[in-house]
Amino acid sequence: MTTRCVNAESYGMLVKQVRKDRVTIEEAAEDAGMTVEESAWFYGYYNRKSNDNLPTLTAIAEMSEADVNSLLPGYHIDQLREVWGKPDTSENSTACWKLGNDTTLAVSYKNNGIVAICGLKDDSGASIGE
């Protein structure tokens, strides 16, 4: 494999092209100036459920509920605990982190610990941001 400096902009172009035009990864990689191996590595790195890819709780507080719910499912609850610390409350397969004065992130997970759904709630338990 040829080693080249590939930036995130090239990777972003690749993913958009593959998703939008339904072209093959080989065609998109060529257009972005990458080899197939480089493009596969970038895709795997930026799309896997890695602790490195989890945003901070401060960043979560600034997201919409829809964005949070599209980001977190698929992570393991232990990954969230490792990055964010112990939840403020945890019971019945739901862990909650306080994000600010009146916002709570509620994360529900399956028996195997994989996050299934999450949401942002205010102190009364009502959904925020939709």
Distant-in-sequence, close-in-space partners of 91: CB < 8 Å, separation ≥ 6:
none
Q: Is residue 130 part of a domain?
A: no
- 6 has a pLDDT exceeding 50: no
pLDDT-above-90 percentage for the chain? 35
Domain co-membership, 67 together with 108: yes
Is a pLDDT exceeding 70 seen at residue 22? Answer: no
Of 79 and 51, which is predicted with more confidence?
79
Tokens of 6: 């590939």
In a domain, 65, yes or no: yes
Among residues 42, 41, 16, 46, which one has the least CA distance to residue 28?
A: 16
Three-state SS for 122? strand
Local confidence band at 4 (pLDDT 50, 70, 90 cut-offs): very low
Sheet containing 89-91: order of strands: 89-91, 94-98, 103-109, 115-122
Report whether 113 contacts 76 (CB < 8 A): yes
In this structure, are 90 and 116 located in the same domain? yes
With respect to residue 3, please indicate whether it lies within any of the assigned structural domains. Answer: no
**Shared-domain flag, residues 78 and 112:** yes
Domain range enclosing 43: 8-47
* pTM reported for the whole predicted model: 0.62
Q: What's the number of domains the chain is made of?
A: 2
- Other Cβ atoms less than 10 A from the Cβ of 16: the count is 12
- Residue 94 DSSP SS3: strand
